[in-house]
Amino acid sequence: MRTRKLGQSELHISELGFGCMSLPLERAEAQKIIDVAVDSGINYFDTADLYNKGENERIVGDALKTKRANIYIASKVGNVWNADGDGWHWDASKEHIISGLKDSLTRLQTDYLDFYQLHGGTLDDSFEEVTDAFETLKKEGLIRAYGISSIRPNVLKTFLPMSAADGVMMQYSALDRRPEEWFDFITKQGASVVSRGTVAKGLLTNEWAKRLQKHDGYLSYSQQQLTDTLGHIADAYPDVLSAAIGYNLAHPAVASTIVGASNVAQLTQNIDAYHRLPADFDYAALAGLTKKELYTTHRD
């Protein structure tokens, strides 16, 4: 599997990354999925302290502890579970970012994280303090690179210029093209995009017709628009899943596109679709079938 450089870091991450949030809680089954991912060349694994109240990090740590030297682990911080376990609150303070990292390292059974991300953020946060926390952790060798998971333009415009962030995780797909407006800005700040939501809740897969029945539109697409658009995509690209992955990877700003799986079969489908992608994939034709939209909120 090919790799791409994440921002200005020394990390060369696989074009397909693995989103760990959907891993099953059963350790043996999770181990099988992780093993298939690694054996297939996936070297980038994304989790967060929020997922399953930290249990996801524990599962990932168990599954990767014997493979640590050859893979990259990314996690996130900022969302804190309430003491009663019912919901969570936001904390982007330096104190919490540092303590959160140490808790994540314990759960992940590792001495360092390759990529650490702020898991959201608003203009009410002190991004000077956030940056200071990340830079402190980097100097101490506890993280190798840092970034942010956000789809808010005003947050990106504030945080990226004052930091040395190497990556921005964003929901992005052929059905959600809002991030494209910001790709040039992100790359000019020295960062790469790591895309999530690549298959748009299953709508951009080869089972799109079945998935369509479970939706009543998607983002700004009405149900009829969604039906028409997916039909046109399938006519032009019978292998919808491969085209969806190819669309994201066609953009040089994107370092990796994240796929998730709750079983081995789902993961294998994604990996096989990646390898079926033709070298002359026509990105522009697919773009012509979908809406090019902009974020309408959190711009200023």
Contacts of 50 (CB under 8 A, 6+ apart): 76, 79, 81, 88, 119
Pairing outcome for strands 44-46 and 72-77: parallel
Query: pLDDT averaged over consecutive 10-residue blocks of the chain (300 residues)?
Result: 98 98 95 98 96 91 95 94 83 96 97 97 96 98 98 98 98 98 98 97 96 94 97 96 97 97 96 94 95 96
Q: For strands 254-260 and 192-196, give the pairing.
A: parallel
Q: What is the pLDDT of residue 275?
A: 97
Query: What pLDDT is stored for residue 83 in this prediction?
Result: 81
Domains, the chain, with CATH or none: 3-287 (3.20.20.100)
Query: What is the C-alpha end-to-end distance of the chain, expressed in Å?
Result: 39
Tell me what percent of the chain is helix, strand and coil, each rounded to the nearest 5. Answer: 45, 20, 35
pLDDT at 6: 98
What distance in Å separates the CA atoms of residue 169 and residue 258, rounded to the nearest whole number? 9
Give the helix/strand (H/E) hosting 269.
Answer: helix 264-276
DSSP character string of 32-77: HHHHHHHHTT--EEE--TTGGGGHHHHHHHHHHTTTGGG-EEEEEE
Residue 51 appears among annotated catalytic residues = yes
Nearest 5°: the CA angle 29, 50, 90 is 175
Catalytic residue among 44, 51, 221, 237: 51
